[in-house]
Amino acid sequence: MQLRIMEERDLEPCAQLFAQVFSADPWNEPWDTGQALKRLAHFHASSGFLGVMAQRQEVVGFALGNLEPFCMGTLFYLREMCIATTQQSRGVGKQLYHALQQELESCHVRAVYLATDRGIPAASFYQGLGFRCSDNMAFYAKRLAAPPSTTD
């Protein structure tokens, strides 16, 4: 298995994988490849993008996000990470994360942070990698009303 830095040409196959993984359990989100590509391309086009991927014949998984300036130094916001459903729980995610962290350390990044659901299996995965759920920080979100339909 090859572990390498993501490039623009990788976005399409990674988007296909992303849509498959997050449409399945435990996420069951209604992704199609086009929507997934928009999201991944957005992060890719944003300042400080960094992604790593695992590949055999096909893409096995990827992790990506953006470097951000902060008063204490550079942070990395890990935005998306997934491993192909058939390849999960075989150590690929751990190898991929370590490849990402090595890359971040070589860029003198001070910390990695991410937001995810508390109860999902990935929470144990991240805790096993040394991430801690903050006692002080909270993640706030607010739903907004959909705009009225033009046919109303």
Phi first, then psi: give them for residue 37, nearest 5 degrees: -65, -40
Q: CA–CA distance from 144 to each of 41, 115, 117, 141, 150 (Å)?
A: 25, 20, 20, 10, 18
Round to whole Å and give the CA distance between 87 and 90. 6
Nearer to ligand COA, 16 or 88 (CB): 88
Tokens matching residue 71: 């008063």
Nearer to ligand COA, 74 or 87 (CB): 87
HSE value, Cβ hemisphere, 13 Å, CA-based, for 105: 6
Binding mask 88-127 for ligand COA (x = CB under 6 A): xxxxxxx---------------------x---xxx-xx--
Residues 37-96 that bind ligand COA (CB under 6 A): 81-83, 88-94
Closest approach of Cβ 88 to ligand COA, in Å?
3
Nearer to ligand COA, 42 or 73 (CB): 42
Q: Which residues bind ligand COA (CB under 6 A)?
A: 21, 81-83, 88-94, 116, 120-122, 124-125, 128
